[in-house]
Structure 1
Protein backbone atom coordinates (compact mmCIF):
# COMPACT_ATOMS: atom_id res chain seq x y z
CA UNK A 1 0.00 0.00 0.00
CA UNK A 2 1.27 3.44 -0.96
CA UNK A 3 0.69 6.36 1.43
CA UNK A 4 0.79 9.85 -0.08
CA UNK A 5 0.37 13.31 1.44
CA UNK A 6 -0.66 16.29 -0.68
CA UNK A 7 1.10 19.17 1.07
CA UNK A 8 1.83 22.87 0.83
CA UNK A 9 1.94 25.87 3.15
CA UNK A 10 -0.04 28.14 0.81
CA UNK A 11 -3.78 27.94 0.23
CA UNK A 12 -5.36 27.98 -3.21
CA UNK A 13 -2.67 25.94 -4.94
CA UNK A 14 -4.86 22.98 -5.87
CA UNK A 15 -4.20 20.54 -3.00
CA UNK A 16 -7.79 19.33 -2.61
CA UNK A 17 -8.39 19.35 -6.36
CA UNK A 18 -5.31 17.18 -6.80
CA UNK A 19 -6.23 14.86 -3.92
CA UNK A 20 -9.78 14.25 -5.20
CA UNK A 21 -9.04 13.94 -8.91
CA UNK A 22 -5.83 11.94 -8.57
CA UNK A 23 -7.69 9.59 -6.24
CA UNK A 24 -10.62 9.34 -8.63
CA UNK A 25 -8.34 8.66 -11.61
CA UNK A 26 -6.54 5.87 -9.75
CA UNK A 27 -9.88 4.41 -8.63
CA UNK A 28 -11.09 4.35 -12.23
CA UNK A 29 -8.05 2.20 -13.02
CA UNK A 30 -9.29 -0.40 -10.56
CA UNK A 31 -7.11 0.65 -7.64
CA UNK A 32 -8.58 0.72 -4.14
CA UNK A 33 -8.11 4.30 -2.90
CA UNK A 34 -8.78 5.91 0.48
CA UNK A 35 -8.80 9.70 0.80
CA UNK A 36 -8.18 11.10 4.30
CA UNK A 37 -9.15 14.73 4.87
CA UNK A 38 -6.93 16.31 7.55
CA UNK A 39 -8.08 19.88 6.85
CA UNK A 40 -10.68 21.59 9.07
CA UNK A 41 -12.39 23.03 5.98
CA UNK A 42 -13.58 19.52 5.02
CA UNK A 43 -13.31 20.34 1.32
CA UNK A 44 -12.80 16.75 0.21
CA UNK A 45 -16.31 15.84 1.34
CA UNK A 46 -17.74 18.86 -0.45
CA UNK A 47 -15.83 18.10 -3.63
CA UNK A 48 -17.21 14.56 -3.67
CA UNK A 49 -20.76 15.56 -2.74
CA UNK A 50 -20.62 13.61 0.52
CA UNK A 51 -23.08 15.27 2.90
CA UNK A 52 -24.21 12.48 5.24
CA UNK A 53 -21.30 12.38 7.68
CA UNK A 54 -21.87 10.78 11.08
CA UNK A 55 -18.28 10.06 12.05
CA UNK A 56 -15.13 11.82 10.94
CA UNK A 57 -11.39 12.07 11.55
CA UNK A 58 -12.26 14.04 14.68
CA UNK A 59 -13.86 10.93 16.20
CA UNK A 60 -10.71 8.95 15.44
CA UNK A 61 -8.42 11.50 17.09
CA UNK A 62 -10.73 11.83 20.11
CA UNK A 63 -10.77 8.01 20.48
CA UNK A 64 -14.53 7.85 19.94
CA UNK A 65 -14.27 5.58 16.90
CA UNK A 66 -11.70 3.57 15.00
CA UNK A 67 -10.45 4.84 11.66
CA UNK A 68 -12.10 1.94 9.86
CA UNK A 69 -15.46 2.86 11.44
CA UNK A 70 -15.24 6.35 9.92
CA UNK A 71 -14.66 5.24 6.33
CA UNK A 72 -17.39 6.28 3.89
CA UNK A 73 -17.81 4.93 0.36
CA UNK A 74 -17.65 7.85 -2.08
CA UNK A 75 -17.32 6.19 -5.49
CA UNK A 76 -16.52 2.70 -6.76
CA UNK A 77 -13.02 1.87 -5.42
CA UNK A 78 -12.87 5.31 -3.74
CA UNK A 79 -13.46 5.72 0.02
CA UNK A 80 -13.19 8.71 2.32
CA UNK A 81 -12.45 9.56 5.93
CA UNK A 82 -14.02 13.04 6.20
CA UNK A 83 -13.08 15.97 8.39
CA UNK A 84 -15.01 18.75 10.12
CA UNK A 85 -14.46 21.89 12.19
CA UNK A 86 -14.01 19.83 15.35
CA UNK A 87 -10.51 19.11 14.10
CA UNK A 88 -9.36 22.31 15.84
CA UNK A 89 -10.29 20.87 19.24
CA UNK A 90 -8.88 17.47 18.39
CA UNK A 91 -5.55 19.01 17.44
CA UNK A 92 -5.37 20.82 20.78
CA UNK A 93 -5.79 17.49 22.52
CA UNK A 94 -3.07 15.93 20.39
CA UNK A 95 -0.53 18.39 21.80
CA UNK A 96 -0.91 16.78 25.23
CA UNK A 97 -0.32 13.23 24.07
CA UNK A 98 2.83 11.15 24.26
CA UNK A 99 4.48 10.58 20.84
CA UNK A 100 2.11 13.21 19.44
CA UNK A 101 3.97 13.34 16.11
CA UNK A 102 3.01 9.72 15.33
CA UNK A 103 -0.65 9.56 16.32
CA UNK A 104 -1.76 8.90 12.73
CA UNK A 105 0.55 5.91 12.55
CA UNK A 106 -1.07 4.46 15.66
CA UNK A 107 -4.70 5.25 14.89
CA UNK A 108 -4.66 4.39 11.17
CA UNK A 109 -3.26 0.90 11.69
CA UNK A 110 -6.64 -0.71 10.92
CA UNK A 111 -6.87 0.88 7.47
CA UNK A 112 -6.02 -2.09 5.27
CA UNK A 113 -6.95 -3.49 1.87
CA UNK A 114 -6.13 -0.31 -0.02
CA UNK A 115 -3.67 0.24 -2.85
CA UNK A 116 -3.38 3.97 -2.07
CA UNK A 117 -4.06 6.23 0.87
CA UNK A 118 -3.98 9.92 -0.06
CA UNK A 119 -4.04 12.60 2.67
CA UNK A 120 -5.28 16.11 1.92
CA UNK A 121 -3.43 18.41 4.32
CA UNK A 122 -4.19 21.92 5.56
CA UNK A 123 -1.96 24.80 4.37
CA UNK A 124 -0.36 25.21 7.77
CA UNK A 125 2.68 24.14 9.76
CA UNK A 126 0.58 22.21 12.25
CA UNK A 127 0.77 19.05 14.31
CA UNK A 128 -1.60 17.47 11.79
CA UNK A 129 0.90 18.19 9.03
CA UNK A 130 3.74 16.69 11.07
CA UNK A 131 1.64 13.58 11.66
CA UNK A 132 0.92 13.31 7.94
CA UNK A 133 4.63 13.46 7.10
CA UNK A 134 5.38 10.86 9.77
CA UNK A 135 2.65 8.55 8.46
CA UNK A 136 3.19 8.59 4.69
CA UNK A 137 6.12 7.53 2.54
CA UNK A 138 5.50 9.98 -0.33
CA UNK A 139 4.86 13.73 -0.47
CA UNK A 140 3.42 15.53 -3.50
CA UNK A 141 3.51 19.34 -3.54
CA UNK A 142 1.22 21.32 -5.87
CA UNK A 143 2.57 24.75 -6.81
CA UNK A 144 0.38 27.30 -8.56
CA UNK A 145 1.96 29.40 -11.27
CA UNK A 146 2.63 32.47 -9.14
CA UNK A 147 5.91 33.85 -7.82
CA UNK A 148 4.58 33.84 -4.24
CA UNK A 149 3.65 30.17 -4.58
CA UNK A 150 7.16 29.42 -5.84
CA UNK A 151 8.63 31.17 -2.80
CA UNK A 152 6.23 29.24 -0.60
CA UNK A 153 7.36 25.94 -2.12
CA UNK A 154 10.98 26.75 -1.33
CA UNK A 155 10.05 27.63 2.26
CA UNK A 156 8.04 24.44 2.55
CA UNK A 157 11.02 22.33 1.53
CA UNK A 158 12.96 23.79 4.44
CA UNK A 159 10.01 23.06 6.71
CA UNK A 160 9.88 19.44 5.59
CA UNK A 161 13.60 19.05 6.27
CA UNK A 162 13.05 20.37 9.80
CA UNK A 163 10.24 17.85 10.33
CA UNK A 164 12.50 15.05 9.10
CA UNK A 165 15.18 16.10 11.60
CA UNK A 166 12.57 16.20 14.38
CA UNK A 167 11.30 12.72 13.54
CA UNK A 168 14.68 11.24 12.69
CA UNK A 169 13.16 10.24 9.34
CA UNK A 170 10.76 11.60 6.79
CA UNK A 171 8.69 10.98 3.69
CA UNK A 172 10.25 11.25 0.25
CA UNK A 173 9.31 14.30 -1.81
CA UNK A 174 8.46 12.52 -5.03
CA UNK A 175 6.50 14.98 -7.15
CA UNK A 176 6.21 18.74 -7.57
CA UNK A 177 2.97 19.38 -9.45
CA UNK A 178 2.62 22.72 -11.29
CA UNK A 179 -1.03 23.84 -11.15
CA UNK A 180 -3.09 26.63 -12.73
CA UNK A 181 -0.73 26.71 -15.72
CA UNK A 182 -1.76 29.22 -18.38
CA UNK A 183 0.44 29.22 -21.48
CA UNK A 184 -0.80 32.72 -22.32
CA UNK A 185 0.80 34.18 -19.21
CA UNK A 186 4.55 34.72 -19.12
CA UNK A 187 4.63 34.17 -15.36
CA UNK A 188 3.47 30.56 -15.85
CA UNK A 189 6.48 29.81 -18.02
CA UNK A 190 8.82 31.61 -15.61
CA UNK A 191 7.57 29.76 -12.53
CA UNK A 192 7.63 26.41 -14.33
CA UNK A 193 11.19 27.05 -15.48
CA UNK A 194 12.24 27.99 -11.93
CA UNK A 195 10.62 24.86 -10.52
CA UNK A 196 12.52 22.67 -12.96
CA UNK A 197 15.77 24.47 -12.13
CA UNK A 198 15.18 23.98 -8.40
CA UNK A 199 13.67 20.50 -8.29
CA UNK A 200 14.67 18.79 -11.53
CA UNK A 201 12.86 15.61 -12.55
CA UNK A 202 10.54 15.75 -9.53
CA UNK A 203 8.52 18.36 -11.48
CA UNK A 204 5.64 16.87 -13.46
CA UNK A 205 4.00 18.32 -16.57
CA UNK A 206 1.69 21.21 -15.58
CA UNK A 207 -2.01 20.92 -14.74
CA UNK A 208 -3.50 23.48 -17.09
CA UNK A 209 -5.93 26.12 -15.90
CA UNK A 210 -9.48 24.93 -16.55
CA UNK A 211 -12.75 26.49 -15.42
CA UNK A 212 -14.22 23.00 -15.11
CA UNK A 213 -11.77 22.18 -12.33
CA UNK A 214 -13.13 25.13 -10.35
CA UNK A 215 -16.77 24.32 -11.09
CA UNK A 216 -16.76 20.57 -10.42
CA UNK A 217 -16.42 20.73 -6.59
CA UNK A 218 -19.46 23.00 -6.39
CA UNK A 219 -21.46 20.22 -8.03
CA UNK A 220 -19.97 17.56 -5.76
CA UNK A 221 -18.34 15.86 -8.75
CA UNK A 222 -14.88 14.82 -9.80
CA UNK A 223 -13.54 16.32 -13.01
CA UNK A 224 -14.14 12.98 -14.74
CA UNK A 225 -17.83 13.14 -13.87
CA UNK A 226 -18.33 16.85 -14.48
CA UNK A 227 -16.29 17.38 -17.66
CA UNK A 228 -14.71 14.09 -18.80
CA UNK A 229 -13.39 15.61 -22.04
CA UNK A 230 -11.88 18.70 -20.45
CA UNK A 231 -8.22 19.65 -20.17
CA UNK A 232 -8.45 19.10 -16.43
CA UNK A 233 -9.64 15.53 -16.88
CA UNK A 234 -6.87 14.81 -19.39
CA UNK A 235 -4.20 16.30 -17.13
CA UNK A 236 -5.26 14.44 -13.98
CA UNK A 237 -5.58 11.19 -15.92
CA UNK A 238 -2.00 11.70 -17.12
CA UNK A 239 -0.87 12.50 -13.57
CA UNK A 240 -2.43 9.23 -12.37
CA UNK A 241 -0.44 7.40 -15.05
CA UNK A 242 2.77 8.98 -13.78
CA UNK A 243 1.97 8.11 -10.16
CA UNK A 244 1.13 4.52 -11.04
CA UNK A 245 4.40 4.15 -12.95
CA UNK A 246 6.68 5.56 -10.24
CA UNK A 247 9.24 2.95 -9.19
CA UNK A 248 8.95 1.55 -5.67
CA UNK A 249 10.78 3.47 -2.98
CA UNK A 250 14.09 2.00 -1.91
CA UNK A 251 13.59 -0.10 1.24
CA UNK A 252 13.95 2.10 4.32
CA UNK A 253 17.11 2.32 6.34
CA UNK A 254 16.36 3.03 10.02
CA UNK A 255 12.78 3.79 9.01
CA UNK A 256 13.73 6.34 6.35
CA UNK A 257 13.34 5.69 2.61
CA UNK A 258 16.75 6.23 1.06
CA UNK A 259 15.48 8.07 -2.01
CA UNK A 260 16.75 11.65 -2.30
CA UNK A 261 14.97 14.41 -0.44
CA UNK A 262 14.77 18.09 -1.32
CA UNK A 263 18.28 18.68 0.02
Structure 2
Protein backbone atom coordinates (compact mmCIF):
# COMPACT_ATOMS: atom_id res chain seq x y z
CA UNK A 1 0.00 0.00 0.00
CA UNK A 2 1.27 3.46 -0.91
CA UNK A 3 0.74 6.31 1.56
CA UNK A 4 0.90 9.82 0.11
CA UNK A 5 0.44 13.24 1.72
CA UNK A 6 -0.57 16.27 -0.34
CA UNK A 7 1.30 19.00 1.51
CA UNK A 8 2.29 22.65 1.41
CA UNK A 9 2.57 25.54 3.82
CA UNK A 10 0.59 27.97 1.66
CA UNK A 11 -3.17 27.96 1.15
CA UNK A 12 -4.86 28.18 -2.23
CA UNK A 13 -2.29 26.11 -4.13
CA UNK A 14 -4.61 23.28 -5.14
CA UNK A 15 -3.98 20.69 -2.41
CA UNK A 16 -7.60 19.55 -2.04
CA UNK A 17 -8.22 19.71 -5.79
CA UNK A 18 -5.18 17.51 -6.29
CA UNK A 19 -6.13 15.10 -3.52
CA UNK A 20 -9.69 14.61 -4.79
CA UNK A 21 -8.96 14.39 -8.50
CA UNK A 22 -5.80 12.31 -8.23
CA UNK A 23 -7.70 9.94 -5.97
CA UNK A 24 -10.65 9.83 -8.37
CA UNK A 25 -8.39 9.17 -11.36
CA UNK A 26 -6.69 6.28 -9.59
CA UNK A 27 -10.03 4.87 -8.44
CA UNK A 28 -11.37 4.92 -11.99
CA UNK A 29 -8.44 2.68 -12.96
CA UNK A 30 -9.47 0.08 -10.42
CA UNK A 31 -7.13 1.16 -7.64
CA UNK A 32 -8.64 1.09 -4.14
CA UNK A 33 -8.15 4.57 -2.71
CA UNK A 34 -8.80 6.01 0.75
CA UNK A 35 -8.76 9.80 1.09
CA UNK A 36 -8.07 11.10 4.61
CA UNK A 37 -8.99 14.73 5.25
CA UNK A 38 -6.77 16.18 7.98
CA UNK A 39 -7.86 19.80 7.45
CA UNK A 40 -10.52 21.43 9.65
CA UNK A 41 -12.06 23.10 6.61
CA UNK A 42 -13.36 19.68 5.50
CA UNK A 43 -13.11 20.60 1.84
CA UNK A 44 -12.66 17.03 0.63
CA UNK A 45 -16.19 16.13 1.77
CA UNK A 46 -17.61 19.22 0.09
CA UNK A 47 -15.73 18.53 -3.14
CA UNK A 48 -17.21 15.03 -3.25
CA UNK A 49 -20.74 16.20 -2.43
CA UNK A 50 -20.81 14.52 0.99
CA UNK A 51 -22.79 16.83 3.26
CA UNK A 52 -24.11 14.62 6.06
CA UNK A 53 -21.04 13.61 8.05
CA UNK A 54 -21.88 11.92 11.34
CA UNK A 55 -18.42 10.60 12.23
CA UNK A 56 -15.16 12.31 11.36
CA UNK A 57 -11.41 12.12 11.86
CA UNK A 58 -11.90 14.11 15.06
CA UNK A 59 -13.96 11.26 16.52
CA UNK A 60 -11.20 8.82 15.61
CA UNK A 61 -8.57 11.01 17.30
CA UNK A 62 -10.78 11.35 20.39
CA UNK A 63 -11.12 7.52 20.48
CA UNK A 64 -14.89 7.67 20.10
CA UNK A 65 -14.85 5.42 17.01
CA UNK A 66 -12.29 3.39 15.14
CA UNK A 67 -10.93 4.62 11.82
CA UNK A 68 -12.77 1.81 10.02
CA UNK A 69 -16.07 2.94 11.54
CA UNK A 70 -15.50 6.43 10.16
CA UNK A 71 -14.90 5.42 6.53
CA UNK A 72 -17.49 6.62 4.00
CA UNK A 73 -17.94 5.30 0.49
CA UNK A 74 -17.63 8.29 -1.85
CA UNK A 75 -17.38 6.63 -5.28
CA UNK A 76 -16.60 3.14 -6.57
CA UNK A 77 -13.11 2.29 -5.28
CA UNK A 78 -12.92 5.69 -3.54
CA UNK A 79 -13.51 5.97 0.22
CA UNK A 80 -13.12 8.89 2.62
CA UNK A 81 -12.36 9.59 6.25
CA UNK A 82 -13.91 13.07 6.51
CA UNK A 83 -12.99 16.02 8.68
CA UNK A 84 -15.00 18.75 10.40
CA UNK A 85 -14.50 21.74 12.69
CA UNK A 86 -14.28 19.55 15.79
CA UNK A 87 -10.79 18.63 14.58
CA UNK A 88 -9.60 21.77 16.41
CA UNK A 89 -10.52 20.22 19.75
CA UNK A 90 -9.03 16.88 18.78
CA UNK A 91 -5.70 18.54 17.94
CA UNK A 92 -5.56 20.04 21.42
CA UNK A 93 -5.99 16.61 22.94
CA UNK A 94 -3.25 15.16 20.73
CA UNK A 95 -0.67 17.40 22.39
CA UNK A 96 -1.21 15.55 25.68
CA UNK A 97 -0.69 12.07 24.27
CA UNK A 98 2.42 9.92 24.51
CA UNK A 99 4.18 9.50 21.12
CA UNK A 100 1.90 12.19 19.78
CA UNK A 101 3.79 12.36 16.46
CA UNK A 102 2.87 8.72 15.72
CA UNK A 103 -0.89 8.77 16.39
CA UNK A 104 -1.87 8.28 12.74
CA UNK A 105 0.31 5.17 12.56
CA UNK A 106 -1.59 3.70 15.48
CA UNK A 107 -5.11 4.66 14.45
CA UNK A 108 -4.88 3.85 10.73
CA UNK A 109 -3.04 0.54 11.11
CA UNK A 110 -6.20 -1.50 10.47
CA UNK A 111 -6.99 0.20 7.15
CA UNK A 112 -5.06 -2.22 4.96
CA UNK A 113 -7.59 -3.00 2.23
CA UNK A 114 -6.39 -0.18 -0.03
CA UNK A 115 -3.79 0.42 -2.71
CA UNK A 116 -3.46 4.08 -1.75
CA UNK A 117 -3.97 6.26 1.30
CA UNK A 118 -3.95 9.92 0.20
CA UNK A 119 -3.96 12.59 2.93
CA UNK A 120 -5.15 16.14 2.31
CA UNK A 121 -3.25 18.35 4.75
CA UNK A 122 -3.84 21.85 6.10
CA UNK A 123 -1.40 24.63 5.14
CA UNK A 124 0.09 24.83 8.62
CA UNK A 125 3.05 23.59 10.62
CA UNK A 126 0.85 21.73 13.08
CA UNK A 127 0.93 18.46 14.99
CA UNK A 128 -1.55 17.16 12.42
CA UNK A 129 0.98 17.86 9.66
CA UNK A 130 3.76 16.18 11.64
CA UNK A 131 1.54 13.11 12.05
CA UNK A 132 0.87 13.07 8.32
CA UNK A 133 4.58 13.19 7.51
CA UNK A 134 5.26 10.45 10.07
CA UNK A 135 2.52 8.27 8.58
CA UNK A 136 3.20 8.52 4.85
CA UNK A 137 6.12 7.41 2.74
CA UNK A 138 5.61 9.91 -0.07
CA UNK A 139 4.88 13.63 -0.30
CA UNK A 140 3.39 15.50 -3.25
CA UNK A 141 3.66 19.30 -3.14
CA UNK A 142 1.36 21.40 -5.34
CA UNK A 143 2.82 24.82 -6.18
CA UNK A 144 0.67 27.51 -7.77
CA UNK A 145 2.24 29.80 -10.34
CA UNK A 146 3.07 32.60 -7.92
CA UNK A 147 6.40 33.68 -6.48
CA UNK A 148 4.99 33.43 -2.93
CA UNK A 149 3.99 29.83 -3.56
CA UNK A 150 7.50 29.10 -4.84
CA UNK A 151 8.93 30.61 -1.66
CA UNK A 152 6.49 28.50 0.36
CA UNK A 153 7.70 25.32 -1.36
CA UNK A 154 11.28 26.18 -0.47
CA UNK A 155 10.27 26.87 3.14
CA UNK A 156 8.46 23.55 3.26
CA UNK A 157 11.66 21.71 2.37
CA UNK A 158 13.31 23.20 5.46
CA UNK A 159 10.28 22.27 7.56
CA UNK A 160 10.28 18.71 6.23
CA UNK A 161 13.95 18.29 7.12
CA UNK A 162 13.19 19.51 10.64
CA UNK A 163 10.37 16.98 11.02
CA UNK A 164 12.59 14.23 9.65
CA UNK A 165 15.25 14.98 12.27
CA UNK A 166 12.57 14.95 14.98
CA UNK A 167 11.20 11.60 13.84
CA UNK A 168 14.52 10.01 12.96
CA UNK A 169 13.21 9.30 9.45
CA UNK A 170 11.40 11.16 6.73
CA UNK A 171 8.92 10.87 3.89
CA UNK A 172 10.29 11.32 0.40
CA UNK A 173 9.26 14.23 -1.80
CA UNK A 174 8.17 12.37 -4.92
CA UNK A 175 6.53 15.05 -7.02
CA UNK A 176 6.20 18.82 -7.32
CA UNK A 177 2.95 19.60 -9.14
CA UNK A 178 2.69 23.06 -10.75
CA UNK A 179 -0.90 24.27 -10.48
CA UNK A 180 -2.89 27.18 -11.95
CA UNK A 181 -0.53 27.26 -14.92
CA UNK A 182 -1.40 29.88 -17.54
CA UNK A 183 0.91 29.99 -20.54
CA UNK A 184 -0.24 33.55 -21.28
CA UNK A 185 1.28 34.84 -18.04
CA UNK A 186 5.03 35.39 -17.84
CA UNK A 187 5.05 34.52 -14.13
CA UNK A 188 3.95 30.95 -14.94
CA UNK A 189 7.03 30.44 -17.09
CA UNK A 190 9.26 32.06 -14.47
CA UNK A 191 7.95 29.88 -11.63
CA UNK A 192 8.21 26.73 -13.78
CA UNK A 193 11.82 27.55 -14.61
CA UNK A 194 12.61 28.13 -10.93
CA UNK A 195 10.88 24.91 -9.87
CA UNK A 196 12.86 22.86 -12.37
CA UNK A 197 16.08 24.51 -11.21
CA UNK A 198 15.25 23.65 -7.59
CA UNK A 199 13.60 20.25 -7.93
CA UNK A 200 14.69 18.85 -11.29
CA UNK A 201 12.80 15.82 -12.57
CA UNK A 202 10.46 15.79 -9.58
CA UNK A 203 8.51 18.58 -11.31
CA UNK A 204 5.54 17.17 -13.25
CA UNK A 205 3.65 18.58 -16.20
CA UNK A 206 1.57 21.58 -15.03
CA UNK A 207 -2.10 21.52 -14.08
CA UNK A 208 -3.44 24.22 -16.35
CA UNK A 209 -5.87 26.95 -15.34
CA UNK A 210 -9.38 25.62 -15.92
CA UNK A 211 -12.58 27.15 -14.62
CA UNK A 212 -14.08 23.66 -14.48
CA UNK A 213 -11.63 22.78 -11.70
CA UNK A 214 -13.01 25.70 -9.68
CA UNK A 215 -16.65 24.92 -10.47
CA UNK A 216 -16.64 21.16 -9.89
CA UNK A 217 -16.35 21.25 -6.05
CA UNK A 218 -19.37 23.54 -5.87
CA UNK A 219 -21.36 20.80 -7.57
CA UNK A 220 -19.91 18.08 -5.34
CA UNK A 221 -18.25 16.43 -8.33
CA UNK A 222 -14.79 15.39 -9.37
CA UNK A 223 -13.43 16.95 -12.54
CA UNK A 224 -14.04 13.65 -14.34
CA UNK A 225 -17.73 13.80 -13.47
CA UNK A 226 -18.22 17.52 -14.01
CA UNK A 227 -16.16 18.12 -17.16
CA UNK A 228 -14.59 14.88 -18.41
CA UNK A 229 -13.32 16.50 -21.64
CA UNK A 230 -11.75 19.50 -19.91
CA UNK A 231 -8.11 20.46 -19.60
CA UNK A 232 -8.32 19.77 -15.88
CA UNK A 233 -9.53 16.21 -16.45
CA UNK A 234 -6.75 15.57 -18.95
CA UNK A 235 -4.10 17.02 -16.64
CA UNK A 236 -5.17 15.04 -13.58
CA UNK A 237 -5.46 11.83 -15.63
CA UNK A 238 -1.89 12.44 -16.75
CA UNK A 239 -0.82 13.05 -13.14
CA UNK A 240 -2.34 9.69 -12.17
CA UNK A 241 -0.22 8.11 -14.94
CA UNK A 242 2.89 9.69 -13.42
CA UNK A 243 2.02 8.55 -9.89
CA UNK A 244 1.34 4.98 -10.96
CA UNK A 245 4.61 4.81 -12.90
CA UNK A 246 6.84 6.13 -10.12
CA UNK A 247 9.57 3.63 -9.26
CA UNK A 248 9.37 1.95 -5.85
CA UNK A 249 11.01 3.82 -3.01
CA UNK A 250 14.42 2.58 -2.03
CA UNK A 251 15.49 2.78 1.59
CA UNK A 252 19.06 3.21 2.74
TM-score band w.r.t. shorter chain: over 0.9
| 1:82 counterpart = 2:82 | yes
Q: Distance in 2 between matches of 1:106 and 1:236?
A: 31
Q: Distance in 2 between matches of 1:163 and 1:202?
A: 21
Shift of residue 249, structure 1, vs aligned partner: 0.7
Q: What does residue 255 of structure 1 align with? A: none
Shift of residue 54, structure 1, vs aligned partner: 1.1
| 1:58 counterpart = 2:62 | no
User: SS at the partner of 2:214?
Assistant: helix
User: SS at the partner of 2:112?
Assistant: coil
Q: Distance in 1 between matches of 2:175 and 2:65?
A: 33
Structure 2 counterparts to residues 176-255 of structure 1, below 5 A: 176-250=176-250, 252=251
Q: What does residue 261 of structure 1 align with? A: none
The alignment yields a C-alpha RMSD, in angstroms, of: 0.5
Shift of residue 186, structure 1, vs aligned partner: 0.2
Q: Distance in 1 between matches of 2:123 and 2:3?
A: 19
Q: What does residue 11 of structure 1 align with? A: 11
Q: What does residue 100 of structure 1 align with? A: 100
Q: Distance in 2 between matches of 1:228 and 1:157?
A: 34
| 1:71 counterpart = 2:68 | no
The gaps in structure 2 that reach 5 residues or longer are none
| 49-58 vs 140-149, greater mean Cα deviation | 49-58
Shift of residue 51, structure 1, vs aligned partner: 1.2
Q: What does residue 49 of structure 2 align with? A: 49
TM-score (normalizing by structure 1): 0.95
Q: Distance in 2 between matches of 1:110 and 1:83?
A: 19
Q: What does residue 163 of structure 1 align with? A: 163
Shift of residue 53, structure 1, vs aligned partner: 1.1
Q: What does residue 133 of structure 2 align with? A: 133
TM-score (normalizing by structure 2): 0.99
Q: Distance in 2 between matches of 1:171 and 1:232?
A: 28
User: SS at the partner of 1:142?
Assistant: strand
The gaps in structure 1 that reach 5 residues or longer are 253-257, 259-263
| 1:150 counterpart = 2:150 | yes
